[in-house]
Each structure stands twice: as C-alpha cells, then as structure tokens.
C-alpha cells in the first residue's frame, strides 16, 4: 500500500487531479439518496494515507482541492436543476454553476490541507481537525451553505444520534476520525486504529434508538397536504388555481384533523390581495388551524416570503417572515446597501428581492402548542434554530423543493430536516410542494410520508417531544473548544517531535 501511495504522488499533476476527483465523487456516495457511508469513510481514509506523502503545503492543498472538487460536484449535482426550469433561457448556465460550486466549495478543503502541512506536517489528526474547522466556516461565512457536510452521511445510522450532543459538526468529526483510524491500519498504528473503530461501533450500539412507540390517542393529528405543483407551472395563471383548488379539496376530505399544513408559497397570490378569500381557506380546514406559505408586501412595498397561521373565520393568528434568504435566489447581495448609499436606481436594477423577517422564536398553533417556524432554506442551518426560554412542541418546516428536481436535492434536504429533529429532540412537521412531505419524530425517524412527485394528503400523529438535548442547550461552543484544544496539542506535539 505504501508503495502505491508513493507512486501516486509521483504521477503527473493532471493524473493526480483526475484520480482524486473521482475519489471525491465516490466520497459523495455517502450523502442521500445513496447513503453509502462506508464508501465515504474509505475514500477519506485513502486521502489521509496520501496526505503525509505531499512534498509541500502547496501540493497538499492541491490534493485536498481536487478531492473536494469531485466530492462537491457530485454531492451538489442537483444545483443544475433550477437552471433547467426555463431551459431555453437559463440552461446554458447549468454546467458553469456546477463547476463553480464544486471548485469554490473545494477551496475550503484546500485551505485545510495547506494549513495542516504548515502547522503540523504529516499529522493526520491536524488535517482531520482542520477539515471539520473549514466545514464550520463553510456553514457560516457569506451567509453560509452547510449542504453536504461531511457528517451528513450518518443521518440514517445509529451514529446520527450523536447530533443530539454536538450537532452536525460532531458528526463530521466522527467521520474524519473513523477515516483516520481506518488509514492507520496500513501503518504502525494498527492498534490505535482498531481501538478507535471498535469504539465507534460500541457508540453506535449504545445510541441505537428504541423502537418507535405506538401512537396514543392523546397525540394531535396533523394533515400534510402536498399539491405537487411543478415549478414551471406553479405561477402560471392557467394552472395556479388548479393547484390551489386541489389543496382546498384535500384539506376538506375525511375526518377533521387538529392541524392542516400546506407548503411554501402554496397560495399563488399576495396575502394583501386575498383578504376577502381567506375565509374560503379556513372553511376548508373546518375549524382546524391552517398553516400555509404565501408572499406578501408591507405598507412600504417590501416583499416577504411568509408563513401564515389561519384560524376560524379566516382570521390571521400569526405571520412569520423568512429570515435567512437564499443569496441570488431570493435577494441580490449588495443591492440594499447600494440603495442605502443613495444609488436607488442601481439598486432597482440589481433587484432587491425579498426582505428578511425580524421575528425570532416560536409561534403558537392553537390546540397544539409552540412551533419553531422554518421556511425551506432555513432548515439547513442547525445553529440558527432558536426559541428563547420555553421549549416548543415541534419544528414546523414548509418548503418548495420543486426547484431541486426529483433526484438527490429533495432527498438531501429531507435528510437535513431529520438531523434538525435529532439535534433539538423535537418532532418535525415537514410539508413540501412536490415532496417529500414527512412527519419526523424526535429521533429523526420518518413516521409517515408522501413520496416525490405525487399529490395527496396524509394524516399523521404528532410524535412526543423529548427533553432538551445537550445541543439544544449548549450549541456548537463546547465542540469548538474541543477542536481548539486538540489542534493546539497537535501543533505542540509536532514542534516537540521536530526538536
């Protein structure tokens, strides 16, 4: 094995790039929908085996960039789907978007490779810690994009329950440590590797969730309504009332539930335009509170992507405006700053898009309790879920995944929703326009769902909430402290060994 790795490092640059990019793509197989977590661990183990052979920090950075490019280009392949909704106008952008996304995200891993080689040459643990560190940065800087984090591979496994203690970044740390242990099996530290891997197996055994209890009669019944409106038809005047009437019909059928939930922008009109029609929606719910997504404008003509809780008689009981907007999708970065500086004409040309909401904390669902509202993109940010002092009853996520097509995108988005439930110890109601709509319990298990690409409604009991988790109380800070201590230890140990 050592001879093969040495021969690899001596190959021409383009050969190394191609092989590492392919290896990175294999690492992406651990993400949904394939969920081959062991392939991801093996691919990272090979990278850790190659890392000490790099002759310079620059070469180490290049190796990690090539590996990351393959990983992100494969894992984020769904990024081309929004450009295919109007393929005649935007289709040409799709390959450029995929290349730039893969190359840009891989730069974070390149930085980890360069810093590891500079601060602790040849130390695989330092590289592992820095990889997790730059994944944290990827989740935060420039509004953040924590999609396809390394640790997401564990969501469908028992080890996914570790997120209740340390969130998604603890899962990323587990991934790289497992790979490091596997890589050590080919050198003199085989005992360390075997002990480490055995420890992970033991942790997975201890964390395995108990069987799901049978739903009791005391649990509220929630109706998840999925209209299945394709994105290219959703706002078409010839179709939009078809989908709206479909949701009204599905809402009014069968027994009356305790809560009805429609997806993001389910109502294809501005809230300001349908004040007189809200009673029609509440009548369909037959006394149950109705949650739906809609766009609205305030008195200053600012636009919002909103979630509305509608009560009896068409009375609006709560409005939540999306706080974390999608850059370039829901607003143009810099446009508002340009406007505040006085160049209002330029700001209009850039397109200011939606305005972020200001409300923080849960809203009340009559007869059920407090819910943490999340709209689409907001469900991928573990560190932004907050609710103040009183613990809520559930997480409430409405989304429109029609933009993501029917491949990896919607399934990866669902996996992240499951992770939010584990982290907070709260059940989640997730309703998506084209799917996958699901009821998720506090252990991240799907108790009821509607598949991709179908219209329908499903009534599901709302699972019980669990006691507050360590992560819900402490967040990421304890893990950040552990990262810092371990990184300092690696650096000092390397200096000691060199002296």
Residue 476 is given by DSSP the state: T
What count of Cα atoms within 13 Å lies in the side-chain half-sphere of residue 159? 21
- What is the rounded distance in angstroms from the CA atom of residue 32 to the CA atom of residue 352? 34
Distances (CA, A) of 279 to 124, 247, 274, 305: 62, 15, 10, 21
**Which one of the listed residues 123, 135, 181, 264 is annotated catalytic?**
264
Letter string b/e over residues 277-315, b meaning 16 or more CB atoms within 10 A of that residue's CB: ebeebbbbbeebbbbbbbbbeeeeeebbbbbbbbbbebe
- What is the rounded distance in angstroms from the CA atom of residue 487 to the CA atom of residue 124? 11
Q: Tell me the helix, strand and coil percentages in the chain, rounded to 5.
A: 55, 15, 30
Q: Quick one: 211 exposed, middle or buried, by C-beta within 10 A (0-12, 13-18, 19+)?
A: exposed
Tally of CB atoms within 10 A around 223: 25
What 94-102 contacts at long range (C-beta under 8 Å, 24+ apart), as own/partner pairs, is 98/73, 99/73, 101/72, 101/73, 101/76, 102/68, 102/69, 102/70, 102/72, 102/73, 102/76
Are 279 and 248 in contact by the 8 Å Cβ rule? The answer is no
Q: For residue 460, list its beta bridge partners.
A: 222
**Which one of the listed residues 123, 135, 181, 376 is annotated catalytic?**
376
**Which one of the listed residues 322, 378, 443, 490 is annotated catalytic?**
322
Are 179 and 26 in contact by the 8 Å Cβ rule? The answer is no
3-state DSSP assignment of residue 373: strand
Encoding tokens for residue 276?
A: 């007189």
Cis amide bond preceding 255, omega within 30: no
Residue 467's contacts (CB-CB under 8 Å, 6 or more residues apart) are 425
Catalytic: 300?
no
Are 124 and 48 in contact by the 8 Å Cβ rule? The answer is yes
Are 409 and 375 in contact by the 8 Å Cβ rule? The answer is no
- What is the rounded distance in angstroms from the CA atom of residue 125 to the CA atom of residue 8? 22
Catalytic: 264?
yes
Which value, to the nearest 10 degrees, does the dihedral of the CA atoms of residues 451, 454, 455, 459 take?
A: -20
Residue 126's contacts (CB-CB under 8 Å, 6 or more residues apart) are 116, 119, 120, 487, 490, 491, 494
Task: State the catalytic residues.
Answer: 264, 322, 376
């Amino acid at each position: 094995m050592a001879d093969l790795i040495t021969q690899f490092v001596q190959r021409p640059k383009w050969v190394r790039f191609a092989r590492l990019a392919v290896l990175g793509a294999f690492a992406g197989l651990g993400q949904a929908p394939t969920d081959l977590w062991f392939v991801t661990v093996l691919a990272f183990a090979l990278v850790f085996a190659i890392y000490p052979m790099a002759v310079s920090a620059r070469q180490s950075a290049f190796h990690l960039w090539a590996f990351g490019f393959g990983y992100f280009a494969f894992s984020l392949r769904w990024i081309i789907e929004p450009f295919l909704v109007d393929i005649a106008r935007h289709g040409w952008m799709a390959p450029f978007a995929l290349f730039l996304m893969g190359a840009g995200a891989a730069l974070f891993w390149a930085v980890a490779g360069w810093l590891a080689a500079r601060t602790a040459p040849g130390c695989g643990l330092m590289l592992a810690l820095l990889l997790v560190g730059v994944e944290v940065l990827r989740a935060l800087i420039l509004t953040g994009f924590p999609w396809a984090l390394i640790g997401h591979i564990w969501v469908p496994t028992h080890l996914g329950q570790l997120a209740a203690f340390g969130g998604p970044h603890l899962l990323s740390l587990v991934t790289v440590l497992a790979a490091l242990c596997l890589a050590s099996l080919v050198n003199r530290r085989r005992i360390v590797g075997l002990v480490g891997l055995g420890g992970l197996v033991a942790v997975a055994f201890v964390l395995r969730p108990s069987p799901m209890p049978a739903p009791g009669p005391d649990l509220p019944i929630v109706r998840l309504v999925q209209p299945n409106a394709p994105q290219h038809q959703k706002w078409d005047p010839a179709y939009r009332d078809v989908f709206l009437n479909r949701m009204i019909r599905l809402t009014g059928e069968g027994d009356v539930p305790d809560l009805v939930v429609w997806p993001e922008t389910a109502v294809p009109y501005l809230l300001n335009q349908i004040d007189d029609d809200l009673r029609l929606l509440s009548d369909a719910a037959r006394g149950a509170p109705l949650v739906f997504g809609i766009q609205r404008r305030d008195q200053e003509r600012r636009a919002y992507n909103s979630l509305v809780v509608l009560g009896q008689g068409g009375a609006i009981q709560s409005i939540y405006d999306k706080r974390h907007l999608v850059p370039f999708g829901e607003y143009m970065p810099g446009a508002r700053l340009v406007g505040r500086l006085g160049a209002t004409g330029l700001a209009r040309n850039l397109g200011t898009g939606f305005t972020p909401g200001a409300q923080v904390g849960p809203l009340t669902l009559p007869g059920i309790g407090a819910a943490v509202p999340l709209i689409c993109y907001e469900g991928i940010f573990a560190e932004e879920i907050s609710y103040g002092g009183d613990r809520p009853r559930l997480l409430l996520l409405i989304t429109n995944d029609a933009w993501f097509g029917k491949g990896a995108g919607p399934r990866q988005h669902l996996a992240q929703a499951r992770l939010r439930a584990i982290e907070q110890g709260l059940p989640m109601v997730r309703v998506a326009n084209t799917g996958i709509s699901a009821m998720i319990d506090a252990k991240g298990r799907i108790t009821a769902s509607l598949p991709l690409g179908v219209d329908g409604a499903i009534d599901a009991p709302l699972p019980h909430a669990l006691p507050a988790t360590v992560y819900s109380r402490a967040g990421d800070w304890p893990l950040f402290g552990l990262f810092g201590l371990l990184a300092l230890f690696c650096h000092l140990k390397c200096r000691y060994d060199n002296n």
